[in-house]
Amino acid sequence: MATPHNQAGAQEIAKVVLMPGDPLRAQFIAEEYLQQPSCFNEVRGMLGYTGLYQGTRLSVMGSGMGMPSMGIYSYELFHMYSVEAIIRIGSAGAISDRVHLKDLVIGMGASTDSAYAAQYELPGTLAPLADYALLRMAADSAQKRGLPYHVGGLVSSDIFYEQRPQVNARWADMGMLAVEMETAALYMNAAKAGKRALAICTISDHLLTGEKLDSQERQTGLRQMIELSLEVAAQLAADQSA
């Protein structure tokens, strides 16, 4: 069942999909962690793979940058390919002094400056939320692994080069932990489709202090996030097939 953005056949994508923003990171995860990985998509360079992780069939596919791109790919996965759950994995910039470099933020909800929700013509303001079962699995697994993590609010912004100097401070004043660019669209698509979604982000930059991870620290932090998300995805897939 090909779409303009995905050449995969109807059965080539697993029911649980990991979605990093970078398609090359999807390739890295497939080659490094999956057994017998098979590439199901190369359209527009948005690489997708399906393989086995500890005997469980999983897929990994890039989402691209920003909510329009995440919106397209996650919509198609949920609606055209019958995917049941998507776990976003990516980097984020901290805006809270409680959060530090290399910490994981598990997104309980995703506030946004985007107009993505306007399509639903709701009579108020939508609060896009994660699937609780996935969130609980991720938090429990992070606790068991001894990883530094926080569960709380993300901000999904349409703007990377922000021109308003007080914006992040205002979000932080409302308890938000970090800024990224995709989660709100994923959570909205999942809610509308009646599917499951979760975002797990590694703090690569601190927008209050100006700190940034160097290349080695970034690699270590991303591996922790990837391995945690694989564990959660495999657990969910096993529960669904039981």
Which residues are part of the catalytic machinery?
205
The pLDDT value recorded for residue 167 is 95
Q: Rounded distance, CA 47 to CA 27, Å?
A: 7
Q: Rounded distance, CA 197 to CA 212, Å?
A: 28
Please give the CATH number for the structural domain made up of 16-241. 3.40.50.1580
Helix (H, G, I), strand (E, B) or coil at 187: helix
Residue among 219, 227, 30, 217 nearest 144 (CA): 227
Helix (H, G, I), strand (E, B) or coil at 16: strand
The pLDDT value recorded for residue 215 is 73
User: How many CA atoms within 13 Å lie on the side-chain side of 62?
Assistant: 21
Q: What does the pLDDT profile of the chain (242 residues) look like in tens digits?
A: 689 899 999 899 999 999 999 999 999 999 999 999 999 999 999 999 999 999 999 999 999 999 999 999 999 999 999 999 999 999 999 999 999 999 999 999 999 999 999 999 999 999 999 999 999 999 999 999 999 999 999 999 999 998 998 999 999 999 999 999 999 999 999 999 999 999 999 999 999 899 998 877 776 678 999 999 999 999 998 887 75
Helices (H) and strands (E) in the chain, counts: 6, 9
Q: Which residues are within 8 A (CB) of 180 and not within 5 positions of it... i.e. 6 or more apart?
A: 90, 91, 92, 93, 154, 155, 156, 157, 199, 201
pTM of the predicted structure, to 2 decimals: 0.96
The pLDDT value recorded for residue 1 is 67
First-to-final CA distance of the chain: 27
Contact predicate 43/30, CB 8 Å:
no
The pLDDT value recorded for residue 242 is 59
Bridge partners, residue 27, by sequence: none
DSSP state letters, 27-85: HHHHHHH-EEEEEEE-GGG--EEEEEETTEEEEEE---SSHHHHHHHHHHHHHTS---E
Bridge partners, residue 203, by sequence: 92
Q: Rounded distance, CA 94 to CA 228, Å?
A: 20
Quote the longest CA-to-CA distance of the chain.
51
